[in-house]
Structure 1
Amino acid sequence: MIVESTPSPEKITASGIVLPPETGLLRVATYNIHKGVQGLGPTRRLEIHNLGHAVEQLDADIVCLQEVRRMNRKEAAYFDRWPEVGQAEFLAPEGYESVYRTNAYTKDGEHGNALLTRWPVKGHNHLDISDHRFEQRGLLHVEVEVRGRSVHAIVVHLGLIPGSRVRQIHALQQFIEHEVPPGAPLVVAGDFNDWGNHIKRMLASFGLYEFEGEDLRALTYPSRLPLAQLDHVYVRGLTPTGLMVPQGRIWWRMSDHLPLIAEFRL
């Protein structure tokens, strides 16, 4: 369960940015949104509008998203209410900044990872970690300023093949060594596509851990009847305090993954 706290009033900076209440906690969510569409063929349905409400309900300081479409000509022609802007921008609640980078290019469009944050963005970059030509994968790195302190967040979506994931974790480690200062707080979140503990052990070898509580069952996939935790939030330099997976029909209708919410003490 997430540890609840009593928030203090919001603050407004000189530039007019509304800062969230001072709780001493950082709330991070990760969500594979399945490109905003559920189902196949003529029975498929557009869920991006419901996902917009869902992301707002997560009430996270940082939201890490995977399978986010920037554009898709086929779906835009099929659905009457297809957003006129990219999905990252469309899903960002009022007051949030959105950062998107493409992982995969297809015949009809492109999709990738995104990060939404209620804290100011200081910078961002992207690394292609594709391991073979059948899976286009990447990681998105965003530096945000949380109450005057830099926090680095990396959004990942690893491959389906075990060997690919191992090589992608090695690429992640090298990226962190080059791009993230050793003492800076770091969050690595996303869809790891790992049904075991091998990736968890690899990440622990270079200082990344997630919340682990007694009898914790943070199962996220498949959303209708979750059997495994494919989605994770790992951190370095922050203290994990809780983990939660929203439940219910409204959530499994929107994507084949459930969102994962983690809280950390700053």
Structure 2
Amino acid sequence: MNIRSASRRAAGALHAPPPARADKDGSRLRVATYNIHKGVRGMGPQKRLEIHNLGMGVQALDADLVCLQEVRLFHHGDANRFDHTHFGWPKQGQAEFLAPEGYESAYRTNAVTRGGEHGNALLSRWPLGDVGHHDVSDHRFEQRGLLHTMVQWHGVTVHTIVAHFGLIHASRVRQAERLGDYIDAKIPRGALVVVAGDFNDWGERLDPIIGAAGLQRAAPPDARRGPLTFPSRMPLFALDRVYTRGLRCADTFVPRGAAWARMSDHLPLVVELERV
């Protein structure tokens, strides 16, 4: 079963077991990136808890690496609001809560807000090494950062960076440049690199800047633009992306359907990668 048919099954029935992988020998690295909107949707009286559904969604993706943005470590207000609901607010941080059985998790805070904090996370089927954080905030109104984790995959290190860029184009340009500077300074030349996240690049203008850092966008060879992931109910923009070095994209998929549209304002992007 290939990634497209597998993910259709997952989107249609989140309670089903994780779909079968196309590579029986595990030679491909399946990477998902997903902005989970802090595990809640709606506002005011219509605000609802989606973190439990997101847990089923993450498991259904059956990815080796799940790169998450807008992940809550804690939030007192939401915890109090949803504590008496049927499922309740998770007792642990959302990264740990969402990690499927057997996965390791890494989390670092980007933003401290009234009542709580949130940031980026990585869930990994493969062993994790050192975990670091690099602040790329461009102004005081938006706190942004890079989560850098070393993943041990088939005996090699894959430097995995989870990113969430700003809402202003000029800020995103500077953050893309800082990403390149960080890779030059902190990651050995020739090492495998995966950078995944929500780049908020509405105008599709960051690829040349990120490409100057030696990264290429994971997309089908004949694609004119990346898979659309935002907004989840009617995707028009390719905000969620994966960039790589030393790996090539073999396949991509964005699961769709009412269940996925309900859980977050973004859809997850799933890519399968092979060694170059």
**Contact 1:2–1:241, Cα closer than 8 Å, also in 2:** no
Deviations 1:9-40 (A, max 9, x none): xxxxxxxxxxxxx3310000000000000000
1:261 aligned partner, one-letter code: V
> 1:5, 1:40 → 2: CA distance?
40
The answer for the alignment partner of 1:90 in structure 2 is: 97
- Among all aligned residue pairs of Structure 1 and Structure 2, give the percentage whose two residues are the same amino acid: 57
Aligned match for 2:249, one of 240, 249, 259: 240
Alpha-carbon distance in structure 2 between the residues aligned to 1:195 and 1:83 = 33
Which residue of 1 is the match for residue 8 of structure 2?
A: none
**Amino acid in the other structure paired with 2:193:** L
| Aligned residue in 2 for 1:172 | 179
- SS of residue in 1 equivalent to 2:183: helix
- Given the alignment of the two structures, is residue 211 of structure 1 paired with residue 219 of structure 2, yes or no? yes
Q: Please list, as runs of the form range in 1=range in 2, the aligned pairs for 1:153-168 lying within 5 A after superposition.
A: 153-168=160-175
Q: Report the AA paired with residue 45 of structure 1.
A: R
Quick one: distance in 1 between partners of 2:187 and 2:63?
22
One-letter code aligned to 1:106: T
Give the alignment of 1:242-261 within 5 angstroms: 242-261=251-270
Which position in structure 1 is the counterpart of 2:31? 28
d(CA) in 2 for partners of 1:163 and 1:176?
A: 20
Deviation at 1:87, TM superposition (A): 0.1
Partner in structure 2 of residue 128 of structure 1: 135
| DSSP-derived class of the 2:206 partner | helix
Aligned letter for 1:64?
C
Instruction: Give the TM-score normalised by the residue count of structure 2.
Output: 0.89
* Residue of structure 2 in register with 1:194 after alignment: 201
Cα contact 2:3–2:22 (8 A) shared by 1: no
Amino acid at match of 2:22: S
Deviation per CA, 1:71-130: give whole Å up to 9, x if none.
Answer: 000000000200000000000000000000000001101000000001001111001111
Distance (whole Å) between structure 1 residues aligned to residue 131 and residue 89 of structure 2: 27
Unmatched tracts of structure 2, length 5 or more? 5-20
SS of 2:22's equivalent? coil
- Contact in 2 for aligned 1:37/1:255 (Cα 8 Å): yes
2:52 matched residue in structure 1: 49
Alignment partner of 1:253: what SS?
helix
Partner in structure 1 of residue 22 of structure 2: 5
Matches of 2:117 and 2:212 in 1, distance apart? Answer: 34
**Per-residue deviation, 1:217:** 5.8
Q: Using the alignment, how far apart are the partners of 2:23 and 2:169 within structure 1? A: 43
Distance 2:187 2:143 in 1: 24
CA distance in 1, matches of 2:23, 2:104: 25
**SS of structure 2 residue aligned to 1:74:** helix
203 and 217 in structure 1: CA distance in 2 versus 1, 3 angstrom threshold: closer
Shift of residue 6 of structure 1?
4.6
Residue matched to 1:11? none
Q: Secondary structure at the match of 2:106?
A: strand
Q: Does 1:147 align with 2:154?
A: yes
- Separation in 1 of the partners of 2:188 and 2:59? 31
Please state how far the C-alpha of 1:214 moved relative to its aligned partner.
3.1
**SS of residue matched to 1:124:** strand
Long gaps (5+) in structure 1: 8-21
Correspondence for 1:231:
240
RMSD over equivalenced CA pairs, Å: 1.3
Preserved contact between residue 129 and residue 151 of structure 2 (Cα < 8 Å): yes
SS at match of 2:147: strand
SS at the partner of 1:198? coil
